Amino acid sequence: MASSKLSPSLIFLQIIFLVFNSANAQLRVGFYKDTCPKAEAIVKKVMDQVMKVAPSLSGPLLRMHFHDCFVRGCDGSVLLNSSTGQAEKDSPPNLSLRGYQVIDRVKTALEKECPGVVSCADIMAIVARDVTVATMGPFWEVETGRRDGRVSNFSEPLTNLPPFFANISQLISMFRSKGLSVKDLVVLSGGHTIGTSHCSSFSSRLYNSTGKDGTDPTLDSEYIEKLKNKCKVGDQTTLVEMDPGSVRTFDNSYYTLVAKRRGLFQSDAALLDNEETKAYVKLQSASTYRSTFFKDFGVSMINMGRVEVLTGKAGEIRKVCSKVN
């Protein structure tokens, strides 16, 4: 309606502005160098304190950045509250996310130092890197300059986040739709080297699949027995280590497990169903502790951190991460 009143020259000027604006408003390392020089040091200080008392939050906080980026881009929309239970965080794939209070704590510290400057979306990206380092994983320079979105919908995580039962073609196409490659898929899946899962995310592989007694024939049978001891039919609450023995250490043992058919989710096992992902799993499973996986993970996290970001004048810098200004 309104645009029909705009003159052609005004429309032309708007297009020029948009092109100019988007070309200049990109993420970059050191975005807060002048506006909040201590930003990353402040995040690290808070994260050091948090990791000391609650190291089990490393997994949830790494996962949170992924769940943010895949729904409306890395715009902090996963953090928004809804009084009617209609936000992303109320949606089934996000009900097992934890650690929102840590992001709030970091935000409070940053608001004290430089009010209204550092976005919640950037905080999550830096926190994801810091928890990776805290679990002895790789360091990478985090690009910053993201702005916070104002919209969060219950339905969008369901259609944008790959489910645990995704097969390889679904995984590839869901990553592709975010501009991420097959390599990013197999590398980022390595994030499952830390953290825990609820039985309900894989119990169909123990009790309701196509193999003997309802088990999943692609899951190692000895491992099935171990998992059955932990997860009885219908268990919704028990947490299981995804990378048993090194759940709090970021290493490449995830790939050793997947190669041995001990990846916990169908989506983990699916990495053996494509030549490229399978080759990567095999390569990393045969590698030593500090493998190329570390370097690859940093590169793929940077790629994921660029997904559909709001920059320049788009969005806002929230004062409180759980609500729009």
Active-site positions read 67
The span from the first CA to the last CA of the chain, in angstroms, equals 28
Residue 197: strand, helix, or coil: strand
Closest CA to 184 of 311, 305, 5: 305
Residue with tokens 């994921």: 304
| Ramachandran sector of residue 212 (left: φ over 0; alpha: ψ -120 to 50; beta: rest) | beta
Does 305 engage in binding with ligand HEM (CB under 6 A)? Answer: no
Residue 8 C-beta: closest distance to ligand HEM, Å: 45
Residue 199 C-beta: closest distance to ligand HEM, Å: 8
Among 51, 126, 171, 224, binds ligand HEM (CB under 6 A): 171
Residue 174 C-beta: closest distance to ligand HEM, Å: 8
203 is in an annotated binding site: no
Does 78 engage in binding with ligand HEM (CB under 6 A)? Answer: no
Does 167 engage in binding with ligand HEM (CB under 6 A)? Answer: no
With vertex at residue 106, the alpha carbon angle to CA 101 and CA 111, rounded to the nearest 5 degrees, is 120
251 is in an annotated binding site: yes
Token output for 316: 């806002």
Does 198 engage in binding with ligand HEM (CB under 6 A)? Answer: yes
Does 189 engage in binding with ligand HEM (CB under 6 A)? Answer: yes
Among 43, 168, 194, 259, binds ligand HEM (CB under 6 A): 194
Residue 29: phi and psi, rounded to 5, are -70, 135
User: Is there a contact between 51 and 131 (Cβ–Cβ < 8 Å)?
Assistant: yes
Does 277 engage in binding with ligand HEM (CB under 6 A)? Answer: no
**Which of 27/110 has CB closer to ligand HEM?**
27
Give the separation between CA 231 and CA 23, rounded to whole angstroms. 51
Supply the DSSP symbol for 114.
S
User: Is there a contact between 63 and 189 (Cβ–Cβ < 8 Å)?
Assistant: no
34 is in an annotated binding site: no
In sequence order, what are the beta bridge partners of 197? Answer: 240
> What residues contact 10, with CB distance under 8 A and at least 6 apart?
none
71 is in an annotated binding site: yes
Among 255, 265, 280, 294, binds ligand HEM (CB under 6 A): 265
Residue 176 C-beta: closest distance to ligand HEM, Å: 12
How many chain residues interact with ligand HEM (CB under 6 A)? Answer: 23
Among 82, 96, 204, 249, binds ligand HEM (CB under 6 A): 96
Using CB under 6 A as the criterion, which residues of the chain lie in contact with ligand HEM when the complex forms? 59-60, 62-63, 66, 96, 162-164, 166, 171, 188-189, 191-192, 194-198, 201, 265, 267
- Which residues carry a binding-site annotation for heme b? 192
